[in-house]
Structures are given as structure tokens and as C-alpha cells.
């Protein structure tokens, strides 16, 4: 297999059997009708030792916390309120009971923050490593769908928070290990990778705005996520690199890589989206009242599912080149 995205496309069902299903494969989460007031939102993600983490990059506590955080981030991208989660875990003999308890403590501490209940799962053995699959279930106001396909020509492209920090933190962790003597600035970067903060509150503000919005979470990098919006909406997104909200501690030897970190590094778990330009300032003000940074990074133009980086008098096409599990 060469590409996870084309594979997912090939297995996407051509037929829907349940009339209550509103959104299936192809967005951050699935949505199905629950009641007259709320739609149910469900998503699942897996973290694999040696692929997404090692004991040298994340502590057991951070592994658990991050496993839940990446799923909550998908709910945030749908504007949903988290309610429940399930955990399937495959454990190898290399993991002690004490370490596993720390994994679950990490999940539970984050779950408590959002009043999210663990309601089940599965525990099995495996010969090597640790594999954690988390399913989260939430709710969003009925028919309030912040889908990737909602972008329209003339929209403003925006980002919450900062980007590039997680990739920079991972670079430091891979070079020195998590127990290294980092500076305070470097610690901020490593924590951006180890303990990402799902943007639940930002997602709720966006959902309750009643503006037409497209939304996606930045898991695979700004370039990849922007392309997903462009493709789903069949428009062209033009991004200004000088407007990107880079992590404030991306300095010293990491400055030269900040654009690559932001565009292709991934795992910032911020939200990228579009809104009608006349509504952006109102949305920015509402976010600011909750100490959430919302930054305009570009615009939506006429085009066919593409993203371009605007530099001086030229535009450079950005490929969907974020993290891909099956790329070499």
C-alpha cells in the first residue's frame, strides 16, 4: 500500500443502509441523528508504539493523555461536546502493570477535564509494543455540521492557536530523548508534541456562532488539512506564509524549519477552517473573549480542489504532503 488516503477512498461504502446517518467516511467524524435537539458524533483513532510514539518520546502518562486528546480533537473539529469514550488496548510483555496504570491515568485526567466517561473497551495481548485504539462519542446541535465541504469562494481561511510547535518538539525529542535537560523554551515545544490540547472550547464557539463554516483539525499538517477542505469543497485555498501563527518558541536553530514544521509536521491539533469574510472579525472577537487566538491566514478563491502558498508575485502549489502511514 502506497497511500492511506486513496485506500480509505477505495473502501468507502457506495451505499448507506441507515437513514439516520448524516455524515459517514470522509470528515473528521461521523454524524448520525440522535434526537430533535442533537446529532451524535463518533470517531476513532489508533496510536501504535514505534509509529506514533516510543518510550523515549512520551511517558506512559503522556501516551494515555495523547491517545484521548487526538480523538477529542476530531470532536472539536465537528463542534461537538464530548460525552463518552471506549478504549481497546493491545499489550506486549514489555509493558508493566504500573506503566499501564499510568497510561489510563493520563486518559482519565483529560477525560475528567471534559466530563467524559469511559464506558468500555477491550484488553488483549500482542507480541510486541503497545497499541491503543480510542473511540469517542459526542453531541452537536442538530443539523450544525462544520464540514470540510462548506468552504465557499470569498471565505477567509483561519487557524486557531499556534502551529509548528509539535513537529519542532518531536525533532528535539528524537535527537535528545524526553529525559534530556531542555531549556524552558524547548520544554514548551516538547510539551506541544507530548501533551496536545484538543480545541474543544474553540470548536464549541465556532459551532454556536451559526455562521457557515468549514472545519478540520490539524493532525497531519496545515498543507494536508487545507487540501482536504479544498478537495471536499472543490475550491482553491490561498495561504499567506507570513500570516501563519507559528509557535512563539520556534527560534534559534529551528527558525529555518518553521514553515516546514507548520505545513507538513502535523500533530498541532489546532483547527483550520473557513468562514465568510464579513463574519471573520466577529468570530475572532468571540474567540478572543475566551483567550483563544484566531488568525486569518488566507482566502478561498475559485479553483478545483487545490491549495497554493502566496509568496511575493508567485503562487506555489502545496501538495497534500502531511504524515502518511504508507509513504516511504
Which amino acids are annotated as binding site for ATP, given as ranges? Answer: 104, 121-122, 148, 219
The phi and psi torsions of 91 (rounded to 5 degrees) equal -115, 135
Taking the CB of residue 311, how many other CB atoms lie within 10 A of it?
Answer: 11
Taking the CB of residue 232, how many other CB atoms lie within 10 A of it?
Answer: 18
Residue positions forming the annotated binding site: 28, 45, 52, 74, 104, 121-122, 148, 217, 219-220, 267, 323
Residues 214/274, Cβ–Cβ less than 8 Å: yes
- Size of the chain in residues: 328
Count Cα atoms within 13 angstroms, Cβ side, for 194.
25
Do strands 213-217 and 38-48 pair parallel, antiparallel, or not at all (unpaired)?
Answer: unpaired
> Cα 71 from chain centroid?
8
For 108, 159, 170, 222, 324, the CA distances from 2, given in Å and listed in that order, are 36, 30, 24, 21, 9
Residue positions forming the annotated binding site for Mg(2+): 28, 45, 74, 122, 217, 220
Amino acid at each position: 500500500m502506497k497511500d492511506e488516503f486513496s485506500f480509505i477512498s477505495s473502501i468507502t461504502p457506495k451505499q448507506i443502509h441507515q437513514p439516520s446517518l448524516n455524515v459517514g467516511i470522509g470528515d473528521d467524524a461521523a454524524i448520525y441523528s440522535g434526537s430533535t435537539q442533537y446529532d451524535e458524533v463518533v470517531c476513532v483513532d489508533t496510536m501504535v508504539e514505534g509509529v506514533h510514539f516510543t518510550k523515549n518520546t512520551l511517558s506512559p502518562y503522556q501516551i494515555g493523555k495523547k491517545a484521548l486528546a487526538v480523538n477529542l480533537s476530531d470532536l472539536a473539529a465537528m463542534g461537538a461536546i464530548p460525552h463518552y469514550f471506549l478504549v481497546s488496548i493491545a499489550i506486549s510483555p514489555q509493558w508493566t502493570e504500573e506503566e499501564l496504570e499510568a497510561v489510563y491515568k493520563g486518559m482519565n485526567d483529560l477525560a475528567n477535564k471534559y466530563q467524559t466517561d469511559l464506558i468500555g473497551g477491550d484488553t488483549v495481548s500482542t507480541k510486541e509494543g503497545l497499541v491503543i485504539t480510542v473511540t469517542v462519542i459526542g453531541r452537536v446541535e442538530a443539523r450544525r455540521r462544520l464540514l470540510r465541504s462548506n468552504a465557499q469562494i470569498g471565505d477567509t481561511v483561519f487557524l486557531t492557536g499556534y502551529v509548528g510547535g509539535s513537529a519542532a518538539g518531536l525533532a528535539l525529542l528524537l535527537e535528545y530523548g524526553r529525559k534530556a535537560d531542555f531549556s524552558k523554551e524547548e520544554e514548551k515545544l516538547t510539551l506541544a508534541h507530548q501533551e496536545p490540547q484538543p480545541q474543544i472550547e474553540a470548536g464549541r464557539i465556532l459551532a454556536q456562532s451559526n455562521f457557515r463554516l468549514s472545519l478540520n483539525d490539524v493532525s497531519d499538517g496545515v498543507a494536508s488539512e487545507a487540501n482536504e477542505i479544498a478537495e471536499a469543497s472543490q475550491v482553491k485555498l490561498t495561504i499567506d506564509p507570513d500570516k501563519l501563527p507559528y509557535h512563539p518558541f520556534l527560534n534559534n536553530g529551528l527558525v529555518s524549519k518553521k514553515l516546514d514544521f507548520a505545513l507538513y509536521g502535523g500533530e498541532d491539533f489546532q483547527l483550520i477552517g473557513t468562514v465568510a469574510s464579513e463574519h471573520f472579525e466577529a468570530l475572532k472577537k468571540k474567540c478572543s473573549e475566551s483567550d483563544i487566538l484566531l488568525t486569518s491566514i488566507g482566502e478561498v478563491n475559485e479553483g478545483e480542489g487545490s491549495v497554493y502558498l502566496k509568496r511575493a508575485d508567485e503562487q506555489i502549489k502545496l501538495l497534500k504532503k502531511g504524515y502518511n502511514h504508507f509513504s516511504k
